[in-house]
Structures are given as structure tokens and as C-alpha cells.
Structure 1
Amino acid sequence: MQDDLELLSHVLVRSHTARDRATLVRTAAGITGLVAIIQHDIGAQQEAESWFTTAARAAQESGDRHMLAWVLARHAMVGLNYGAPSSAARRAARAQRVAGTTPSAAAALASAVNARALASLGDRNGARKAVEQTQTMIEQLDGIALADNWLGYPAQKHSVHLSQAYTLLGDTKSARAEQEAALALTDSPSVMTRPRPRPRAMPAHRQGPPGRNGHGNRYMEQPPGGLPDRAGADPGRSTT
């Protein structure tokens, strides 16, 4: 993955047609989004925040709203897992607005994350509405959107999200039903839960000479910033 980032950093500084650049920055958004998820998985909170910010910036320029919604929804997971549900709810809500009304994996994930965030905040009515919205949406997704991969919203992950939302709402019966459904769908490891080697350090690349539109290779840089560490947060917590 580091080799891919280095290659993209060199390609992005060149002049391209608007269409080709949109494709390149969309690719950059996808790769940096995956880096962010991996950083989140290994407990590197600040690095995850930085890479998600980079991914969102690239997705924004690409004009691909589904990619942007996916990045924002995955970014919202950081708030959930590090004790910042308000931040998670804001990002999830933005992801939903970006995704629009057409059912998609990104929209379903954003809705599920929003349900969990609102439940954490004690907004029972809002959380239940978000759960219902997520349930309705997953019934309308096709096979590609339900794929068990980084960009999909598979049924097993759906049940895990809802089980946690129901648990926070105190609905133990529904939570247990979703947990059992998730276990029934976990006969073999998914591509997202197989053991992964710890990634090599990915240094920020220097700003290269700007391309024709003046953007250069800024998507290969890690911007500063991120949520502060919260007391009691578990860096090893699942990022489901």
C-alpha cells in the first residue's frame, strides 16, 4: 500500500484532464481511507484522524459522493470507539446528507453509526428512528452493496451495529437476537477481520510541484489534528 501511495504522489503532480484527475483523486481517497481504517484498527487514533481527513479531502475533489459518504461514515467510527459520540453523530449525519436518498452501502453504514451514536447520547427516539431507517435501507441493497469487503455493508456487520445500538437502548431481547444473527453469519473470517501485519510507517510525502490546477500531491500528506484521547477509551476495541 505504501508503494501505491508513493506512485500516486508522483502521478498527482503531473498535468491531467479534469476527468483523469477525478479518477486519480478518487483512487487516492480509497487508498488513504483504507490506511485510516487500518490505523484505527491498530489503535493509532491520531493517525487515523489525519488519514481520514486526507481521504475526505480527496473524495470531495473527486466529486464522487458515494466515496465521500463512505469516508465520512468510516471516520464517524473513530468517535464511537474513542468516547466521542457527539462527533460520531455529526459525521454520520453529514455522511447521510452526502449519500442522498438512494440506498447504498455508505448510506446504510452512516445510518447504523448514527443509531449507535444517538443511543450513546441518550437520544432514544432518534436512535430508534435511525435503527428503523437502517433496517429499511439494508432490505433495498443489492449484492454489490452487501459484499463483505471494505466498501460493502454486509449483513453480519449490520447485525453487529444494531446489537450495539439495542444494547445502549436497553433492549436486551433485540440486542441478543442481532448478536445471534451475527454469530450465525460468522462461520469464517471476513476479508476485514483476518489477521493483518502491522503496516510499515507511512511518512508524509513532501509537497511536489503543483499540477496544472495547482493542487500538487497534497493528498499524500497527513494533515495535523484529531480528537483528543478520552479517558477509558480502549485502543484495541473493535472498529466494527
Structure 2
Amino acid sequence: MNSACAPLFATDSRLPNSISTRTGAAAPMMSSKPATISKWAMTVSTSTMQKSPPSIPTSNPKPRPCAAQPETLGGGPSMGTDTLRAIIGMLPKTDTRREILLKVFLADWKHCLNTGLQITDLDWRHGIHGPENDHLQAFLDLEYSDRPEGEPSLIISALRKIFAYDPEPRADSELTKRERDSINHVLKVTNEYTFAKLIKLVYSVRPIIYSNNSHLGHMIDLSAHAAHQRAEEEELGEKKIA
């Protein structure tokens, strides 16, 4: 991992103090008190971990408008498939469908920390195995059926160690520069990650930390979680490593 790159989940100094939420009710998931928390997620003091998870404001989901009018997937809010293709086009070609889903989630979370908004208009929900979105999963199963579904094979894992992926700058009309920056930051951090380490990283972010099994199926409000994380950072007076 490139030690020079900023922590994956540090907030952007350009983000205003007040962030309006975009999606619906957020709920904590998986385990409310994880044994360890990744340094990429947030700095948590002992007293912070002893507190109950903060209440997340609820609102009706408002999908992010797309620059163009791309085709959409059926069911639920419309989702710009051109935007998804642009994001996936920036990811390593050896990524499995599960790895793609998790990295799109991390990119949305990173962008929320930077801007208060997701890159996609996906409504992420708490699932048994982490963040889920049925529409994205159906899209991956349809258009990327040639990719393995879950953990990469031993051969692919070995090849990744030999040939490190170096994302190239893209000037895709579907993505803004700040959106590409958020995606590239995720790629730099996860460049040499194994599947297990990627899963561990996902489970170390705030929206998943403040969660338990009673919230399975509930919507994850990334914007609200990003606002709470920024407020906690300011309260603690902790400056993230640049």
C-alpha cells in the first residue's frame, strides 16, 4: 500500500461543516463493538466505543441525478448503468463480482466523506455478508457473468502479487474529477489487498461498525454517517494524516 496516499476514510477539508443527507434511514449492522478497528476507518477512543451508536436522521431516498439519461435497471430507483460501467472500468480486470461490489461501496463511502454525496445513486443496505444492493448484483451477474462470483482463485491471487495493478487516469464523461479521485484512492489503498483483507477493510468503516444483526435489510445512509464522522473528528480535534 502506498504510504503517501491519504487514509481511505479521512474526510476532505473542503467539505462544509453541515452536510444534508441524501438517502434513507441508516442503521448500524453486523457487530456493534468490533474487536479491532482499521486505521482507515476512524480514530475511536475507549470512551467513544462505550457510547451507544448515534442516532442517524431518516429521510426519503433521493437518488443522485445522472449527468446523462442512461438506461436503467428495473425495480427501485433508477440507476445509471453508464456510470456503473465507468466505475467498473477503472477497477482491475481480475476483480471478482463480489470485489467489484465492495469497491463500489468503498468508493461511494470515500466520496461521501469528501463531498457529502455518493458517486452512484445506489441505496446500500445491510446484509449478512456486508453492504448489499440487489440492483448492482443483478447488473454484475448480467454484464460481468464471466467474472468469478466470490473470492478470487489461488492463480489469480498469485498473479496479482506478480503484476501489481496501476490504475491509469481516465477522463470519462460519466465521472467528474473528484469522483475519479475517490475511486483511484480506493484503488491505491486496496491495490495489493487479498480478498480477506478487503473484507476486513469494509467491516472497519463507520457505517458497518455501528451495526448489528437486528438491522439486516435496513438502508445505509452514507451521507449521514459521513456527517457524524466529521463531527466526531472535529470534536476530538484529531487531524487525519494527509
Common fold by TM > 0.5: no
**Higher helix fraction: Structure 1 or Structure 2?**
1
- With a CA cutoff of 8 Å and minimum separation of 6, indicate the structure with the bigger relative contact order: 2
Q: For the superposition of Structure 1 and Structure 2, which TM-score range results when normalised by the shorter chain? A: under 0.3
Tell me the TM-score normalised to structure 1 length: 0.25
Tell me the TM-score normalised to structure 2 length: 0.25
